[in-house]
Structure 1
Amino acid sequence: MKPIRYTIVPSQPAAHLFEVTVTVADPDPAGQRFMLPVWIPGSYMVREFARNIVTLRAFNDAGRKVRVTKTDKHTWQVAPVKGALTLRYEVYAWDLSVRAAHLDDTTGFFNGTSVFLAVPGHEDAPCVVEIQKPAGAQYRQWRVATALPEARGTKRYGFGEYRAQNYDELIDHPVTLGEFALKTFKAHGVPHDIVISGRVVGLDMERLAADLKRICEAQIALFEPKSKKAPVDRYVFMTQAVSDGYGGLEHRASTALICNRGDLPVTGREPMTEGYRTYLGLCSHEYFHTWNVKRIKPAAFAPYDLTRENYTSLLWLFEGFTSYYDDLILVRSGVITQDDYFGLVGKVVGGVQRGSGRLKQTVAESSFDAWVKYYRQDENAPNAIVSYYTKGSLIALAFDLTIRAQTRNRKSLDDVMRLLWQRYGRDFYRGKPVGVEEADVEALFAEATGANLAELFTDGVRGTVDLPLAALLAPFGVSLKPETDVGAKPSLGARVRGGADCTLAAVHDGSAAQKAGLSAGDVLVAIDGLRVTGANLDALLARYLPGAKVEVHAFRRDELRVVQLKLDAPEVARYVLSAADSRAAGTRARDRWLKA
């Protein structure tokens, strides 16, 4: 097939407009169709990227306009032409996230799913994309950061032509444009770039590179303990630093990240801050996806259908297990301490336990319903759904501890991940892609470990039984206990939205608030005749004992309600993991787990 040629230029940064062209040398003689994806892999929600196409025109190779008909929300049909066909269109880019495209006079970013029209019938054709610099002296210092391979004549980080073997590869390499901080390190011989966009004072790139090197090398060694061979020839961490933001999206040889600029390390300040630890965990999570979901995929994603939802019940394995390993790798690589790690696990346990949705929805169901539930959460979400990320990570922990206990540490969850890699991931892009079938997972775990894991699959994956984590941790010399602060205030059993007004954001099942008839969206105005605000609620409640009856005045819309409420006992403040004395039983097993 002849190559599909694209050009993209930040034509009007102040108006947030990219101008894109796509040229097909041998279009369909019956009339060529063009399609823009409706979702981006890794973010399981239909996002309708085509809504951002502002204008679209078609031209034949003589430069004359050709009739274009839009046939549905994301597809265009062009009249038959002789010779080459070119579409020229504008894309509005004002989504400062990792999922779409953003452009202003300071920086640009895009995912291919937001800007590059697919050419049905030519999906396997090679692609060439020319990335052009915006016009004007103020953009003289702009560069290009992407993991897309450069075409001949284009220098790394330079504007020019880049290439992809097919459309799937083209859209799997996000691009950052502008002025950015840049640092390169090698992990087991493979270059990794760190790209930071946005203003960050005192950024310590040396420390960031050193920490990421340890994380990346630990993950490479997990999947390839003998060869230490990375699955990529080059990798790019690209981060947009903002005043308030968090997120990441995985790609086959890069990741797009967004974080608070205050979370990045500062030169001369050694202590590990909570924000920096969170950022490193995010980097670790997205890097682990290089294996788990970008190459080891559920069968439903091999290949992706970008025109509609792709349903799978396995996101607990692909996102949940990645969420387990992201923090585990931090402690194994020595980037954080054992106590830091235990604190992170305790936080996850608390988050899962606080939602009664865990007793109603399995992680397999949560995975399948991601498109309509997890990514579209409402005020009832804590009561109705469970996160395949957080509970999935605890299921991974339970599997790991169970396998280690049954095999006396001869096997672990690492062996499962390596078997998945060898069977499904290592050659994914080299031949016909094969994904993991849902019916094969349980047998594969047994094959990799020889352990009896039927109960965990029944109760943990396909059931809603709380995981016996305390019992599973005990043989490793680790205790898990809920803690409530001494003198803690009684609870309404509701989450309050931040702000001056005391607005209920969510009301938990069976709680004092729900029993009294309060609902999400209600605005509390008084308790026992005293005014309530978002700032003084805790102080007011602290004056009561659990079980006390109070009178609450609240507005629902514009109607005042007066209810009697019996306060609940204080909520569990935290779940604490503690390691036994180093001389105690289980210490060696714990070390094998956390220092593997």
Structure 2
Amino acid sequence: MKKRTLLYSVTPFDPSGHRLKVRLTIAQPDPDGQELSMPAWIPGSYLIRDFSRQIETIQAFSRGQPVAIAKTGSHTWRCAPSAAPLSVEYTVYAWDLSVRGAHVDESHAFFNGTSVFLAVSGQTQDVCHVELCPPPHTKKWKVYTSLPEAAGHPRAAKRHGFGLYAAPDYDALIDHPVEMGTPQVVQFTAHGAEHEMVFTGVIPKLDLARIAGDVQKICAAQIELFEPQARRAPFLESANRYVFMTMVTGDGYGGLEHRASTALMASRNDLPVRGRDDAGAGYQTFLGLVSHEYFHTWNVKRIKPAAFAPYDLSRETHTSLLWVFEGFTSYYDDLMLLRSGTINENDYLRLLGKVISNVRRGAGRLKQSVAESSFDAWTRYYKQDENSPNALVSYYTKGSLVALGLDITLRHATSGTRSLDDVMRLLWQRFGRDFYQGGGQGIAEDAMPALIQEATGVDTRDFIARYAYGREDVPLERLLPLQGIAMNWKAASAAPALDARLRSSHGETQIATVYEGGRAHAAGLSAGDTLLAINGLRVTDTASAERLLGAYQAGDEVDVHVFRRDELRAFRLGLGEPAATECVLERKG
């Protein structure tokens, strides 16, 4: 049966009011009444977002006459029966400065399709055309998206132009975010595939050439990992280019993957500027983010858990495998910086040591496995509070250490002839390469041990049971020396231990986390307390707190005054030895 075509149009008609106008035309609506829905969440961010709450107005018409439309659920609507083509017009409030939603002002417009496009029940497999329209009173804006132009159509957009774009179905439509505006842009190719980097925001003297050179190496290295012979980028089946869309702010950080693009947020202080050789550690953080999201082009956008094949965007969809899809990706993100030559081994070991330190610091790792953390992402990981380090483990960070431990185990067991790379290539060939062409099968919840053994010949059932589904620490003290790496611990500070994490903001210093079993816990201090004074001397920020504590030794007691809400409290705190919480990795010999 020939596919029908749905037509959407999107206009940032009120930039000052942060609003988009959307029109959906349905040529053949359901004669019994057309049902519509908005996704409740966006793939890659496992929390119900309720995007429908940002729809301010909605109305329907057929042949110029109003058609009744009523909401039937949190994310659903139903139009009255209509035999003629149906038009649905609605406005979306777009003021979410994040990688997940939509953000419009006088400088740019950015949106994810999950925030903007209503799904048409019964027609989600049909072709979708999207007309992107400029805001009023501007002729300078251009369009940046991996969504293909509607080739052959008389209203087809030209490169970076407004006009008509096309997607083969609704799932593809919502997987190509759009940026409109006047950003700074640079292009490069990696193994013949075009890539585009788009930076929105105020970024003086941005060193685009340096960024493009480094990211090109990272992309090439990842293509070579998955396709060592063909060296073909995975997105070419659905788009003719890959687009990195970066919103630059004072302190932003984050990313969200899509099938041929990624939305990023970065601090301008993390980006290199022309004329300065040393870009700093922040630039490595940015490159690690880029590497992470690009790796997702294979791992989670095409290699998926069975629970995500296909996505059900109307409800929470649970899987215990995010430690594979986010944890393995977190392992490879910095590793690909090393392999591509954008950082050296000392930088890599420093980054890896920070991850190990972060994981080992939290008591939550002994209470929750990364498989449990994966399953509970919706209700626990994405809803963290002040006690989360004591109660949760991250499937990103500990998941990356599980991947590291697996990689070393595989290399050691096979005398270096097999590694986690072989596992990733098998997953790609079996589940990912033809995902969008062949019906899309995902990885079953219990399949990883057998797949690893098939790829490498190594039985890792015990390893996975203990460290992924169990709560034991990955035995890196034993494994890292097998790769010639010494692992040591040192105190991050010479000051006696408070066993709490502090944060300063707006002239106040608060206790952000009290670590379970530590000195602050024993004394009765709590997260949220505003730290005022130590032994009668004022605390002005986190650095002053460390200086005041540095005047004492382990075993000393100090009086600590805090505000808890609006009540003054006093506590007697016994100080402990500076905790050896910082992992230091070094190449032996």
Map 1:183-198; keep pairs closer than 5 Å. Answer: 183-198=186-201
Say whether 1:566 aligns with 2:574.
yes
Distance 1:268 1:117 in 2: 47
Map 1:101-116; keep pairs closer than 5 Å. Answer: 101-116=102-117
CA contact (8 A) 2:529 2:562 kept: yes
Provide the residue aligned with 2:78 in structure 1: 77
Task: Please report how far the alpha carbon of residue 289 of structure 1 lies from its aligned counterpart in structure 2 after TM superposition.
Answer: 0.2
Cα RMSD (Å):
1.2
Q: One-letter code of the match for 1:98?
A: V
Pick from 179, 204, 207: which aligns with 2:182?
Answer: 179
Distance 1:205 1:524 in 2: 43
Pick from 427, 435, 439: which aligns with 2:434?
Answer: 427
Relative to the length of structure 1, the TM-score reads 0.95
Provide the residue aligned with 2:142 in structure 1: 143
Distance 2:281 2:365 in 1: 27
Q: One-letter code of the match for 1:474?
A: P
- Summarize deviations over 1:368-400 as a string: whole Å, max 9, x none: 000111111001000000000000111100000
Task: Please report how far the alpha carbon of residue 203 of structure 1 lies from its aligned counterpart in structure 2 after TM superposition.
Answer: 1.5
Distance 1:506 1:262 in 2: 27
More displaced 10-residue stretch of structure 1: 179-188 or 269-278: 269-278
- Summarize deviations over 1:333-383 as a string: whole Å, max 9, x none: 111101000000001011111111011000000000001111110010000
Q: One-letter code of the match for 1:175?
A: V
Task: Please report how far the alpha carbon of residue 471 of structure 1 lies from its aligned counterpart in structure 2 after TM superposition.
Answer: 1.3
Aligned length: 577
Distance 2:491 2:205 in 1: 39
Task: Please report how far the alpha carbon of residue 257 of structure 1 lies from its aligned counterpart in structure 2 after TM superposition.
Answer: 0.7
Say whether 1:494 aligns with 2:496.
no
Say whether 1:255 aligns with 2:268.
no
Provide the residue aligned with 1:65 in structure 2: 66
Distance 1:472 1:452 in 2: 17
Provide the residue aligned with 2:341 in structure 1: 334
Distance 2:546 2:209 in 1: 43
CA contact (8 A) 2:449 2:459 kept: no
Say whether 1:208 aligns with 2:179.
no
Say whether 1:460 aligns with 2:461.
no
Task: Please report how far the alpha carbon of residue 513 of structure 1 lies from its aligned counterpart in structure 2 after TM superposition.
Answer: 1.0
- Summarize deviations over 1:512-566 as a string: whole Å, max 9, x none: 1111111111223333333333352111111111121222233322333332221
Distance 1:21 1:226 in 2: 45
Provide the residue aligned with 1:584 in structure 2: none
Provide the residue aligned with 1:589 in structure 2: none
Task: Please report how far the alpha carbon of residue 573 of structure 1 lies from its aligned counterpart in structure 2 after TM superposition.
Answer: 5.0
Pick from 25, 44, 47: which aligns with 1:45?
Answer: 47
What SS class does the counterpart of residue 223 from structure 2 fall into? helix
Say whether 1:556 aligns with 2:556.
no
What SS class does the counterpart of residue 562 from structure 2 fall into? strand
Q: One-letter code of the match for 1:426?
A: R
Provide the residue aligned with 1:578 in structure 2: 586
Distance 1:323 1:383 in 2: 22
Provide the residue aligned with 2:231 in structure 1: 228
Distance 2:537 2:157 in 1: 69
Say whether 1:375 aligns with 2:382.
yes
What SS class does the counterpart of residue 287 from structure 2 fall into? helix
Distance 1:530 1:258 in 2: 39
Provide the residue aligned with 1:283 in structure 2: 290
What SS class does the counterpart of residue 525 from structure 1 fall into? strand
Q: Give 5+ residue unaligned stretches, structure 2.
A: none
Q: One-letter code of the match for 2:564?
A: R
Provide the residue aligned with 1:590 in structure 2: none
CA contact (8 A) 2:558 2:572 kept: yes
- Summarize deviations over 1:309-352 as a string: whole Å, max 9, x none: 11000000000000000000000011110100000000101111
Distance 2:166 2:566 in 1: 59
Provide the residue aligned with 1:16 in structure 2: 18
Distance 1:291 1:74 in 2: 30
What SS class does the counterpart of residue 459 from structure 1 fall into? helix
Pick from 346, 362, 376: which aligns with 2:369?
Answer: 362
Provide the residue aligned with 1:546 in structure 2: 554
CA contact (8 A) 2:361 2:581 kept: no
- Summarize deviations over 1:59-92 as a string: whole Å, max 9, x none: 01x1111111111111111100121001000000
Distance 1:526 1:258 in 2: 37
Distance 1:558 1:269, change over 3 A: closer
Say whether 1:3 aligns with 2:5.
yes
Relative to the length of structure 2, the TM-score reads 0.96
What SS class does the counterpart of residue 352 from structure 1 fall into? helix
Distance 2:467 2:579 in 1: 24
Task: Please report how far the alpha carbon of residue 181 of structure 1 lies from its aligned counterpart in structure 2 after TM superposition.
Answer: 1.6
